[in-house]
Amino acid sequence: MRTGKILVTGAGGLIGSSVARSLQERGNEVIAIDRVGGQIGDVLIQQCDLNDIHHLHAVVGPGLAGVVHCGAFSGPMVARDNPYAMVQVNIVGTANVLELARIYKAQRLVFCSSTSAYGHTASSGPVSEDTVMRPESLYGASKVASEQIVSAYARQYGVDGLSLRLSWVYGPRRTTDCVIRTMLTDAMAGRPTRIGFGADFHRQFIFVHDASNAVLKALDAHTLPRTTYNITGGSRVTLLEVASIVKKIYPTADIDLAPGPDPVDEFQEAFDIRAAARDLEFVPRYRLEDGIREYAGWLEETMRKEG
């Protein structure tokens, strides 16, 4: 286990909040930052913009043991009408965080990349980390660029960094568009769900706790033979299959999906996660149905609290 002070960017988000809580629970000193401050559980989140380099230095300071960089626009559906902001936050923000790691001599930096970096993949799987990246979105391109900057900092400056290519993360505290949450909340409210695509479109999900566990394993690992790893929940399902799971939980759910691809997502074959199993000892623990059931329970509890 890596000890000492750990910076977590994007600590108010889905993965960042889970990582920050886990680090604090195990005894690390956590510097949790996000563009919006606040508190999640026992974790105090300091307001700090990734593009405010002077504030970043003031918040972090010497003695940095590690960095978990989750701070970014979190999917191809976010900031689609503001490409300049995507570049500034996702690419320049990553460079700023790497500067902190270099100057304060962090022992490890883990960058949360995305399988969106691959773009459409060939019709034969599984897809390994050495597959050529051809992103279809600026979001995916921002992840490719950031991965390359992480690797360049490792080669030129000795910053021990690696990138985790995470598939679609779902679970408690997800706030951006999520088809699983839409189906669940519609079912809870007795509303029909009508989606104009996806019945035959495959997607690879990962439950937030599995994603957080992969990040911690990457942070703690000693010497790693790779700088990039695919991280998924181990399944590849159509959105119709997701709907079937939701109907098992809520038998009265009224869900109808049309055939065809998601207009803001790519066709991707199954990603190979054997390297993560070998080098990080990462194996997803949550079956998709188990994760969706836990997510449903959290949503129900949240709705009760909100009245």
Which of 29-38, 77-86, 175-184 shows the lowest per-residue confidence on average (mean pLDDT)? 77-86
Average pLDDT, the chain: 95
Question: What is the span of the domain harbouring residue 41?
Answer: 5-170+206-233+265-285
Summarize pLDDT for 151-184 with one digit per residue, the tens.
Answer: 999 999 999 999 999 999 999 998 778 999 999 9
For residue 280, name the pLDDT band (cuts at 50, 70, 90): very high
Domain contains 140: yes
Residue 193 tokens, joined: 């769900």
Q: What's the pTM?
A: 0.95
| Residue 240 domain-assigned (yes or no) | no
Q: Is residue 149 part of a domain?
A: yes
Q: What is the CATH number of the domain that holds 111?
A: 3.40.50.720
Whether pLDDT at 8 is above 80: yes
115 located within any domain: yes
Residue 150 pLDDT > 90: yes
* pLDDT for residue 156: 97
Q: In this predicted structure, what is the pLDDT of residue 136?
A: 94
Select the more confidently predicted residue: 289 or 174. Answer: 289
Average pLDDT of the segment spanning 271-278 = 98
For the cut 70, the answer to whether the pLDDT of residue 78 exceeds it is no
* Residue 70: inside a domain: yes
* Structural domain contains residue 62: yes
| Number of compact structural domains in the chain | 1
In terms of pLDDT, which residue wins out, 164 or 82?
164
Closest CA to 190 of 257, 254, 97: 254
Position 162, amino acid: L
d(Cα 137, Cα 160) in Å, to the nearest integer? 28
Contacts of 130 (CB under 8 A, 6+ apart): none
| Distance between CA atoms of residues 135 and 146, nearest Å | 13
| Mean per-residue pLDDT, 67-75 | 90
The answer as to whether 85 is a domain residue is yes
197 is a domain residue: no
CA dihedral of residues 222, 61, 139, 87 (deg, nearest 10): -140
